[in-house]
Structure 1
Amino acid sequence: MDGIDGGVAIVTGGAAGIGRATARRFAAEGASVVVADIDADGLTGTVDLIDADGGEAVAVETDVSDADDVAALVEETVDTYGVPDFAFNNAGVEGSSERLTDQSLDDWKRVIEVNQTGVWNCLTEELAVMADNGGGAIVNTSSIAGLSAAGGAPYVASKHGIVGLTRIAAAEYGPVGVRVNAVCPGVIDTDMIDRASEGRGGQNIDRVVQAKPLRRMGEPEEVAAAAVWLCSDDSSFVTGHPLVVDGGYMA
């Protein structure tokens, strides 16, 4: 993809799943990658895979719900590789699948703090340094749950919020050269989907898969390709857009 080689990318939630696949794709396209997550062992595994592929990456243990942690992540990125050209704000949790009135306030707070406040924390730090450096590209991970009622209430609310943050960031920072988009995955073959499937007895997930025109789960690498494309020069006139990667479910 044009414009990725030689750049610097931050990937949160990079210890597994979509985050790991996207970190590897950035590295394969020639970017130096800072991989962030709270899972130290998973981070090491991702960096080892990138090293084995001949890429360049470092791991930074980060809790995205902690503003100080995120500030330190961006500072370490600048110190190690320079100002980031790209960021994939992907860290997230699924929360409970119970009905709204059966949800606990603690679960609500946890999901919002990680999924939505985590993206807020990342955006505020990334946008500041990118704007001062002449621009960049950011992709936030929302979900089909950010465009529909597909999931538990805290998760759906958090993912709708990410679409809103994406749009306002794109509108405010486009004039200084920063593009901001979102990916909205459907059912992707990850550990998160495995946990969600167990929590719902597998039936709801199976129904969603069978409702997709493509009749299968997506692969993390398919979302990674979309996320990296949104950061590349190939998507240079795309900003403020929630790109659905769902096998046709929302259609």
Structure 2
Amino acid sequence: MEKIFEDKVALVTGGAFGIGRATAIAFAQRGAKVVVADWVEDNETIDAIKKDGGTAIFVKCNVSDTGDVASMVHKAVEQFGSLDFAVNNAGIEGDTAPVHECSEKNWEKVLGVNLKGVWLCMKHEIPIMLNQGKGSIVNLASIAGLVGFPGLPAYVASKHAVIGLTKTAALENAKLGLRINAVCPGVIKTPMVDRVTGKDKTVEKAYEDMEPVGRMGRPEEVAEAIVWLCSDAASFVTGESMAVDGGWIAK
């Protein structure tokens, strides 16, 4: 694989599992030094990168905590000297309930990770990139940021807000060397989706049938979109909310 990110540094939150793990590995395969951040200590991502000859470190971080996020970004720059790419992927689905039964605790937890977490990450990433005069950020939204999903009010609200936040940050920094985009995955075979389906084959089949392509997506397919958005091939793309969804929202 061509090392298009040689001597570059990528930070991926929620990098221990699913889309985050696939993205961290994809950056490393292209030559980037990778900072894998998660609130769960899991070295499988790091081990996979190093086994393939790549360079990576793990940083434990709760993205809803200001101190943790500041420390995470500081460690990335301290370790590798720069921050070229940031993928703000950490997210949770929360409890399932209609709007009027969604608990305040669930609302605050989901918005704290999915929205406040993305904002805090950009709050600390953007100044580093502005000082460098360049950088690319990709925030993970969802098709639930483009359409509604009954029973997931906090999750849907958080992902719609991530798209609005992404557009605002992109416009603020469009002339300053930074590109900021969002990716909106459809139903991807990840631990999060496994929790939603309970790994029940009947439920999984129902989700697959709702996808126009007839299957769930793979984390690696979303990772490819993310690394493309960070690459020079996407140099004229900013403020975009890219659906990687097997045609879900085209229905």
Could you tell me the TM-score, scaled by structure 1's length? 0.95
Indicate the residue corresponding to 1:174 in structure 2: 174
Indicate the residue corresponding to 1:196 in structure 2: 196
Once the two structures are overlaid, the 10-residue window that deviates more, 206-215 or 228-237, is: 206-215
Indicate the residue corresponding to 2:208 in structure 1: 209
Indicate the residue corresponding to 2:99 in structure 1: 100
Q: Which stretches in structure 1 are left out of the alignment for 5+ residues? A: none
Distance 1:208 1:17 in 2: 18
Once the two structures are overlaid, the 10-residue window that deviates more, 61-70 or 144-153, is: 144-153
Secondary structure of the residue aligned to 1:250 is helix
AA partner of residue 98 (structure 1): A
AA partner of residue 32 (structure 1): K
Q: Contact 1:187 / 1:205 at 8 angstroms: preserved in 2? A: no
Distance 1:103 1:63 in 2: 23
Distance 2:178 2:131 in 1: 10
Indicate the residue corresponding to 2:161 in structure 1: 161
Q: Contact 1:130 / 1:136 at 8 angstroms: preserved in 2? A: yes
Alignment of 1:22-33 (within 5 A): 22-33=23-34
AA partner of residue 229 (structure 1): W
Alignment of 1:81-100 (within 5 A): 81-100=80-99
Secondary structure of the residue aligned to 2:69 is helix
Once the two structures are overlaid, the 10-residue window that deviates more, 134-143 or 205-214, is: 205-214
Q: Contact 1:144 / 1:150 at 8 angstroms: preserved in 2? A: no
Deviation at 1:210, TM superposition (A): 1.0
AA partner of residue 95 (structure 1): G
Distance 1:48 1:208 in 2: 32
Deviation at 1:207, TM superposition (A): 3.5
Distance 1:208 1:196 in 2: 10
Indicate the residue corresponding to 1:67 in structure 2: 66
Indicate the residue corresponding to 1:240 in structure 2: 239
Could you tell me the TM-score, scaled by structure 2's length? 0.95
Q: CA RMSD in A?
A: 1.5
Q: Which stretches in structure 2 are left out of the alignment for 5+ residues? A: none
Distance 1:47 1:203 in 2: 34
> Following superposition, which runs of at least 4 residues in structure 1 exceed 6 angstroms of deviation?
201-204
Does structure 1 residue 114 correspond to structure 2 residue 113?
yes
**Cα gap change, 1:9 to 1:165, in 2 (>3 Å):** same
Identity %: 49
